[in-house]
């Protein structure tokens, strides 16, 4: 008996699965490998959350973000963060109109659907703070006037690791607003060979016209509604809460994850289950998203940092410690 015949899904996820496969296929025209990163990006889109891509220079962070904007048919804008960038350069500013003798608001690049913030940690905390309201509340208040953002609203930021020259650590409050922090690693040997082949074959390496849009605003809205309605067993909710709660009690962590992290794990686990064509979540889904959701939300104790431990290794230990509900 086929599995689909035994258990008929209560939510129709066939369209979602098909779209996700198409998105993966379009992105793979340019990006070689990095399947997990692509899956996490799609998960974030479906879970309505912002993404922070971290990796050393040259691992296709910006290219990935640009490709994501290509496969989603929606507004796109890009801000290159620099040390002298001001909040008004991001949000916009009121300009005096000589003809009407009135001030009119000129929207900044933050007003769009998909915002690529390249090298976000090159700007100081003052400019970072301008993003707090817009990232959390999907609105910007300038000169006493509040401007709501269009749906879908997704900030995809890239950053170099903190140890790189000329970078600032992002404020905790801002880090918490990112649903995922995705670590972009170096490709494997075979993948790098494929990268070279692809680069050699293409006439214009900056030409992304071969990538076709797959998702539009309405599709994203529909899929988000479906994903939100997936079944979650109560024991798994407790499992999520136990994991996040353990980060607050762990002696290895100076700062644990916030309740926002619990919600993020729930949302993203549902989105990931939806991508798999399942209308309920499993502990596997929770484990898959636990690290990208929490790695930027926790702070290690100085002694653990000195021992060479990372947020990922501590989170792994915590997750392994909690009993999977069966």
Partner 1 sequence: MRKNIISFLLVIQCFTLLGRDGITPVKYDSSAVEWRQFDKQKIAEHKADPSFNYGNRPVPGLSIWERFIMWINRVLGRLFYMGTTTPIGKIITYTLIAAVIVYALLKLLKVDVRRTFYSNADASSLPYEVHDENIHEMDFESLIKEAVEAKEFKNAIRLIYLFALKNLADKHLVEWQPGKTNHDYLFELKREEVKEGFGSLSFYFEYAWYGDFPISEELFADVDRLFNRWRKGLPG
Residue 116, C-beta contacts closer than 8 angstroms, at least 6 positions apart? 62, 65, 66, 69, 76, 77, 78, 79, 156, 157, 158
If binding is defined by CB under 8 A, does position 256 make contact with partner 1?
no
- Residue 43 CB, shortest distance to partner 1, in Å, is 18
- How many Cβ atoms are within 10 Å of 100's Cβ, its own excluded? 8
- Residue 231 CB, shortest distance to partner 1, in Å, is 6
- Residue 218 CB, shortest distance to partner 1, in Å, is 28
Rank residues 7 and 103 by Cβ distance to partner 1 and give the closer one.
Answer: 7
Q: Which stretch binds partner 1 (CB under 8 A): 149-157, 190-198, 219-227, 283-291?
A: 283-291
> What kind and span of H or E run contains 97?
strand 92-97
If binding is defined by CB under 8 A, does position 6 make contact with partner 1?
yes
If binding is defined by CB under 8 A, does position 302 make contact with partner 1?
yes
Rank residues 148 and 325 by Cβ distance to partner 1 and give the closer one.
Answer: 325
User: CA-CA-CA-CA torsion for 137, 272, 156, 217, nearest 10 degrees?
Assistant: -70
Residue 170, C-beta contacts closer than 8 angstroms, at least 6 positions apart? 120, 121, 128, 159
State the DSSP string of 238-293: HHHHHHHHHHHH-TTEEE---HHHHHHHHHHHHHHHHHTT-SB--HHHHHHHHHHH
If binding is defined by CB under 8 A, does position 193 make contact with partner 1?
no
**Under 8 Å between Cβ of 179 and 47:** yes
If binding is defined by CB under 8 A, does position 168 make contact with partner 1?
no
If binding is defined by CB under 8 A, does position 326 make contact with partner 1?
yes
Question: Can you tell me which of 2, 3, 100, 163 binds partner 1, judged by CB under 8 A?
Answer: 3
If binding is defined by CB under 8 A, does position 322 make contact with partner 1?
yes
Positive or negative, the CA dihedral 181, 186, 190, 192 is: positive
Residue 296 phi, psi (nearest 5) = -95, -5
Rank residues 2 and 163 by Cβ distance to partner 1 and give the closer one.
Answer: 2
| Strand pairing report for 50-54 and 178-183 | parallel
Residues 195-234, mask of contacts with partner 1 (x by CB under 8 A): ------------------------------------x-x-
Instruction: Please give the Cα distance from 26 to 4 (Å, whole number).
Output: 27
If binding is defined by CB under 8 A, does position 242 make contact with partner 1?
yes
Question: Can you tell me which of 197, 202, 248, 321 binds partner 1, judged by CB under 8 A?
Answer: 321
Instruction: Please give the Cα distance from 53 to 69 (Å, whole number).
Output: 14
Question: Can you tell me which of 27, 59, 281, 300 binds partner 1, judged by CB under 8 A?
Answer: 281
- Residue 315 CB, shortest distance to partner 1, in Å, is 12
DSSP state of 121: G
In this structure, the chain runs to a length of: 326
Q: Tokens standing for 57?
A: 């220079």
If binding is defined by CB under 8 A, does position 284 make contact with partner 1?
yes
If binding is defined by CB under 8 A, does position 236 make contact with partner 1?
yes
Q: Which stretch binds partner 1 (CB under 8 A): 31-39, 175-183, 184-192, 302-310?
A: 302-310
- Residue 283 CB, shortest distance to partner 1, in Å, is 5
Instruction: Please give the Cα distance from 35 to 41 (Å, whole number).
Output: 10
If binding is defined by CB under 8 A, does position 306 make contact with partner 1?
yes
- Residue 93 CB, shortest distance to partner 1, in Å, is 48
Q: Which stretch binds partner 1 (CB under 8 A): 37-45, 144-152, 164-172, 272-280?
A: 272-280
Q: Applying CB under 8 A, which residues contact partner 1?
A: 1, 3, 6-7, 231, 233, 236, 242, 278-284, 287, 302-303, 306-308, 317, 319-324, 326
């Amino acid at each position: 008996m086929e599995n689909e015949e035994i258990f008929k899904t209560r939510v129709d996820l066939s369209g979602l699965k098909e779209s996700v496969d198409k998105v993966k296929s379009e992105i793979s025209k340019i990006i070689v490998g990095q399947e997990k990163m692509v899956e996490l990006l799609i998960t974030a889109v479906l879970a309505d959350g912002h993404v922070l891509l971290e990796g050393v220079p040259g691992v296709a962070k910006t290219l990935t973000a640009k490709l994501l904007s290509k496969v989603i048919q929606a507004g796109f804008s890009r801000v290159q963060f620099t040390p002298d960038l001001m909040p008004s350069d991001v949000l916009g500013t009121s300009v005096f109109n000589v003809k009407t003798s009135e001030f009119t608001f000129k929207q900044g690049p933050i007003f769009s659907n998909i915002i690529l913030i390249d090298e976000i940690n090159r700007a100081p905390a003052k400019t970072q703070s301008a993003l707090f309201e817009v990232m959390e509340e999907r609105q910007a208040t300038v000169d006493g006037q509040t401007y709501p953002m269009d749906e879908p609203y997704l900030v995809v930021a890239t950053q170099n690791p903190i140890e790189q020259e000329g970078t600032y650590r992002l404020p905790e409050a801002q880090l918490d607003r990112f649903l995922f922090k995705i670590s972009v690693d170096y490709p494997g040997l075979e993948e790098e060979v494929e990268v070279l082949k692809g680069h050699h074959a293409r006439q214009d390496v900056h030409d992304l016209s071969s990538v076709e849009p797959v998702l539009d605003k309405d599709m994203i809205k529909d899929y988000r509604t479906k994903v939100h309605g997936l079944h979650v067993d109560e024991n798994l909710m407790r499992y999520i809460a136990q994991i996040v709660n353990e980060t607050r009690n762990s002696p290895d962590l100076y700062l644990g994850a916030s309740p926002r992290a619990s919600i993020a794990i729930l949302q993203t686990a549902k989105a990931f289950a939806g991508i798999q064509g399942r209308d309920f979540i499993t502990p596997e889904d929770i484990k898959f998203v636990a690290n990208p959701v929490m790695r930027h939300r926790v702070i290690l104790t100085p002694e653990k940092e000195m021992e060479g431990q990372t947020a990922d290794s501590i989170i792994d230990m915590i997750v392994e410690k909690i009993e999977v509900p069966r």
